[in-house]
Amino acid sequence: MRSCFVAGLVLAAATAACGPADSGLTPPPTPSCAPAPASSAVSGDVLDATKALLGTLDDDQAAAAQDGGLSLEDLSDVQRAAVLAVLKAGLSDGGYQQIVDATAADGIDRYRVRLTGSPEAGGTWVVHFTGPGLAVNLAVAGNAISAVCGASPTPSPPAATPARGATSARRSG
């Protein structure tokens, strides 16, 4: 226990001594977004856009969208445009511009969309849009809209795998 406390103090001291202020580096800006002004018209636009998105998906895709989500890489151009239309309907102009900028920088195919809840008038549902540079949760509850945006953690690179025909030594026993 004491060694963990000491290690924590050393880590804190090292972080303070070597942090961004001393290194000349600045952390990337934390994305933020604002929902479009809440009104029944705006929530209706989000509902219409979400239903339009679901209308472009086949049964397997619709199930995947409600389950683990869909990679935009696996969607057609029409389906990708429908995903972006949902976000555009629910976010402020500045919030939507962050989506456009992030997907342009990272590649839109590296993003995923997932829906939770049941999009219906007066209902509650969430559109989750995540990728390497940005995560957005657009929640609709009746006429209320809430948007939470943040930086996505950078995914780890895939683990190295041995080349074809290579062997790895294993210890038996």
Per-residue pLDDT of 51-63, as tens digits, reads: 999 999 999 999 9
Confidence of residue 115 (pLDDT cuts 50, 70, 90): very high
Has residue 157 been placed in a domain? no
- 8 Å CB contact between 145 and 49: no
Whether 44 is covered by a domain: the verdict is yes
Q: What is the pLDDT of residue 42?
A: 75
21 inside domain: no
* Statement: the pTM of the whole predicted model exceeds 0.85: no
Closest-CA residue to 141 (of 160, 168, 164, 119)? 119
Q: Where do the H-state alpha helices sit in 91-149?
A: 93-106
Cβ neighbours of 131 (radius 10 Å) = 23
- What percent of the chain lies above the pLDDT cut of 70? 64
Supply the range of the domain harboring residue 124.
27-150
Instruction: Indicate whether 82 belongs to any domain.
Output: yes
Residue 93 backbone phi and psi in degrees, to 5:
-60, -45
Q: Structure tokens of 89?
A: 């309907």
pLDDT tens-digit series, residues 123-173: 999 999 999 988 999 999 988 888 888 876 545 334 333 343 433 333 334
- 89/97 Cα distance (integer angstroms): 12
What is the model's pLDDT at position 164?
A: 39
With vertex at residue 130, the alpha carbon angle to CA 112 and CA 93, rounded to the nearest 5 degrees, is 110
Number of structural domains in the chain: 1
Three-state SS letters, 66-90: HCCCEEHHHCCHHHHHHHHHHHHHH
Residue type, 124: T
pLDDT of residue 162: 36
Q: Please determine, for residue 19, whether its predicted confidence score (pLDDT) is greater than 90.
A: no
pLDDT of residue 41: 65
**Which residue has better confidence, 83 or 33?**
83
